[in-house]
Amino acid sequence: MAILVNEATRVLVQGMTGSEGAFHTKQMLAYGTKVVAGVTPGKGGQSFEGIPVYDSVRQAVEDHRADASILFVPAPFACDAMLEAAEAGIPLLVCITEGIPLHDMLRAYHLIRGYGARLIGPNCPGLISPGKSKVGIMPGEVFSPGPVGIISRSGTLTYEIASHLSRAGIGQSTVVGIGGDPIIGSTFVELLPLFEEDPETELVVLVGEIGGAAEEEAADYVAQNMEKPVVAYIAGFSAPPGKRMGHAGAIISGTEGTAEAKAQRLESRGIPVARTPAQVAELVRERLR
């Protein structure tokens, strides 16, 4: 099985006709994702790769039931686009857009939850259930079907770690890139229960970064609530104090949020922490025996 998306998931693409949306729509279709409609205001009535394009999400949903929407919408308009999808009743939103103003995201975060929608991102690579569906920008060829779930704050590290696992003969159930912005729609703690309940996920990998307290919160949650094994990797053991590394949320405050502090919390809760991406596969193999 998988979480969040599978071969039956019907996907709408907001911003389908823009350069990013067009490129990744083609990639998702090639992977086998069931893309049913696109939305670009002013382009309604056109089609792209044989898929109808609408002016609004409401119009698209009236003609094509959608289980998920992926957004390739410029930052100034991304929050309004997310809210449009949530208001139309789409239960899963995947926002790839980076650079969304913090105050815009703060407002949208609570409104989206009020509609009962789940948001992945923003500033994320999306998610993939290997062999079933890709709703994002991940390179599908590095993933393979199997029993390991991955939740990651980093896009490129997600690909690298999945590649190491696949080369080691260890496939993945679902891989979720949650994004690295200060305000994101779904956290480690909110996604871990889905993997715990998935009968075909046997182990979960957490991929974290410096900054914030998401990994520490996840460590406490795992210790108290999960029976399945969890392993982790934290990027940034060599990061200078006070520096932001990559994502907007990856900034250290004093001794808090360092890779070492996160690793200590995780390991104190029985979660082994790899020091290199390649070591993740070794830790996973040991715990799947």
What CATH number does residue 84 fall under? 3.40.50.720
Task: Output the pLDDT for position 232.
Answer: 98
Integer Cα distance of 27 and 25 in angstroms:
5
Q: Are residues 170 and 270 in the same domain?
A: yes
On the question of pLDDT at 135 being above 70, the answer is yes
Domain that holds residue 242: 139-288
Task: Output the pLDDT for position 257.
Answer: 76
Task: Output the pLDDT for position 234.
Answer: 95
Residue 1 is assigned to a structural domain of this protein: no
Q: Are residues 106 and 233 in the same domain?
A: no
Task: Output the pLDDT for position 258.
Answer: 86
* 164 labelled catalytic: no
Beta-ladder partners of 256: 253
pTM of the model: 0.94
Residue 130 is assigned to a structural domain of this protein: no
* Residue spans of alpha helices (H) in the chain: 19-31, 57-63, 75-87, 102-114, 155-167, 188-197, 214-225, 259-268, 277-288
Sequential DSSP letters for 124-176: S-EEEETTTEEEES--GGG--EEEEEEEES-HHHHHHHHHHHHHTT--EEEEE
Reported as a single tens digit per residue, the pLDDT across 64-123 is 999 999 999 999 999 999 999 999 999 999 999 999 999 999 999 999 999 999 999 999
Read off the pLDDT band of 252 (50, 70, 90).
very low
pLDDT above 70 as % of the chain: 93
Q: Are residues 217 and 91 in the same domain?
A: no
| Annotated active-site residue in 64, 103, 110, 247 | 247
On the question of pLDDT at 251 being above 90, the answer is no
* Domain termination residue (choose one: 120, 149, 167): 120
Task: Output the pLDDT for position 247.
Answer: 54
Question: Domain tally for the chain?
Answer: 2
Reported as a single tens digit per residue, the pLDDT across 40-60 is 999 999 999 999 999 999 999
* Domain termination residue (choose one: 86, 120, 154): 120
Task: Output the pLDDT for position 254.
Answer: 45
Q: Are residues 158 and 212 in the same domain?
A: yes
* Domain termination residue (choose one: 59, 87, 120): 120
Read off the pLDDT band of 211 (50, 70, 90).
confident
Q: Are residues 112 and 149 in the same domain?
A: no
